[in-house]
Amino acid sequence: MNKKVKVGIVLLVVAILAVAGIIFAKKFMKKTEKDNGKLVYVQSVKDITGVYVGLHNRYMGIVESQEVKKVNKDSDKKIKEIKVKEGDSVKEGDPLFSYDTDDMELELQKKEIELDEIGSNISELYNEIDETDKQRETVPDDMKYSYTSSINLAYQKIKSYEYEKQQKELEIEKQKESIKNSVVKSPMNGVVKKIDKSKADSNSNNEGMYMDEDMGGGTEDAFITIMANGEFHVKGTVSETNLASIVSGTPVIIRSRVDETMTWAGVIDKLDYEPNKSEGDDFYGMNSGEGSSKYSFYVKLETSEGLILGQHLYIEPDYGQSEKKNGLYLSSYYLVQDGSDFYVWARGKNKKIEKRKLNIGEYDENNDSYEILGGLTKEDYIAFPSDNIVEGSKTTTDMMEAMENGALDDMGGDGDMMPDGVATDGDAFYEEVPNDDVMPGRQAPGVMIPDNEIPDGDVLLPDGTIGNPDEPVDGTESSDDQAGEKSE
């Protein structure tokens, strides 16, 4: 092989290697670019710190009247007409429903006929006694005994008929009273809370007409439930797992589900130790499997001004989280600790994600938050920490875009921004982290929403609230504002 051929072969090999290197480099660069290009969902620090985020359990509650009465249906009667509907205001003495009196009147006539028959039987027996007594006077002495026996037997029958007569007269009196009281009236001023129409044509095990809810059984067995006008209290629901955390006298904060800045103060007044009747519960829209027992507890309010009967609320223990603090405080869940240093994943000036060191101040144990002295302002945007965040990745404030691109896959599912290892069945959240990663006092926020409390069309938002992501609320950006903050 001559020298020129050898040189040509070497050059060909070098060219092939160069082409292969270029192809590999391009593929590697594309892979790196793809990794760094995964969207990261970020939120405004102003929005995060403007919405309550804490470590406390949160229970669902509903505004109710402090006095509730249930009106039961007579098991022996048929309903003719229901004169009210749910939500109606009623006064004491207003008609609620009426019974069908046609059958009762026929029954009354039947009983009166039976009473007349009894009276006729008694009269006939007395006539028979008189006739037998006259005949006894005309017979020989040895035959009088049989006549006397007949007379005694007749008197025994009369006594039996007299007893039947008394019973029948009581039945007739009761029937007349029932016809007279065929219209059932409200026992107090209030609002019709519930009408169980399934009981209109069914028998009831309750013989009493009016019962207080505290007498047992709640309102499940009532035909009509009425809540009194006047002062309200809040009825909450707690799972069996968290039952020990409900203690009478514990201060609580009642928080509006629509505007969490609206709050009312109160204390836990009492707890029902009989479990509620339930077929199971849904937890954040997912059935938790085997149903857990639920219990009701009641909150006495300092004031009920601004509350509406039937309004749904949050109930949370009052550990001072509503107190206003000067400065910027950020929940520990957004912080990454590396030794003694603290960082956040923040959006940089080029709108790419960056790991930013913070100057940390005091720790608020009650609210599981740290004072931010430097490195972050309310105008910044930060991401929930994840091991899969790559520095330099693009950012977005559009949740739908983030969900479509898988930016929320590592944040607890469906964009709920909750840590892994959450408990189910209405219990509080707890995060499982290695011992060397645990921050002082770090616990998971306890946002409890049992019993299928996410309405149709709403979702669990990243700040832990429920709502429509397309509708702006106070303190958040509108869709137009967010348009300018999408990925670039």
pLDDT for 169 equals: 93
- Does one domain contain both 353 and 387? yes
- Kindly report, residue by residue over 242-264, the tens digit of the pLDDT: 888 888 888 999 999 888 889 99
Q: Where are the alpha helices (DSSP H) in 319-412?
A: 399-404
Q: Which long-range contacts (CB under 8 A, 24 or more apart) does 114-120 make?
A: 114/168, 115/165, 115/168, 115/169, 115/172, 118/161, 118/164, 118/165, 118/168, 119/165
Q: Could you list the residue range(s) of the whole structural domain that residue 117 is in? A: 101-181
- Does one domain contain both 258 and 328? no
Cβ 298 vs Cβ 273: under 8 Å: no
- Does one domain contain both 304 and 328? no
- Does one domain contain both 272 and 335? no
- Does one domain contain both 304 and 354? no
Segment (H or E) for 171: helix 141-180
- The answer as to whether 311 is a domain residue is yes
- Mean pLDDT is lowest, of 36-40, 57-61, 342-346, 394-398, for 36-40
pLDDT for 314 equals: 93
- The answer as to whether 415 is a domain residue is no
How many domains, in total, are found in the chain?
A: 3
- The answer as to whether 208 is a domain residue is no
Q: Return phi, psi of residue 226, to 5°.
A: -120, 130
- Kindly report, residue by residue over 321-375, the tens digit of the pLDDT: 666 667 888 888 899 998 889 999 999 988 899 999 999 999 888 778 899 999 9
- Does one domain contain both 252 and 306? yes
- Kindly report, residue by residue over 143-156, the tens digit of the pLDDT: 888 999 999 999 99
CATH code of 258's domain: 2.40.30.170
* Of the residues 369, 404, 439, the one at which a domain ends: 404
- Kindly report, residue by residue over 286-333, the tens digit of the pLDDT: 333 445 788 999 999 988 888 988 899 999 988 776 666 678 888 888
- The answer as to whether 237 is a domain residue is yes
CA distance 457 to 468: 7
- The answer as to whether 78 is a domain residue is no
* Of the residues 119, 150, 181, the one at which a domain ends: 181
- The answer as to whether 266 is a domain residue is yes
CATH code of 400's domain: 2.40.420.20
pLDDT for 375 equals: 93
- The answer as to whether 431 is a domain residue is no
Beta strand segments in 272-327, E: 282-283, 286-287, 294-301, 312-317
pLDDT for 159 equals: 93
- Kindly report, residue by residue over 49-59, the tens digit of the pLDDT: 765 444 467 89
pLDDT band at 431 (very low <50, low <70, confident <90, very high): very low
- Does one domain contain both 356 and 301? no
* Of the residues 116, 148, 181, the one at which a domain ends: 181
pTM above 0.75, yes or no: no
pLDDT for 412 equals: 45
- Does one domain contain both 123 and 164? yes
- The answer as to whether 245 is a domain residue is yes
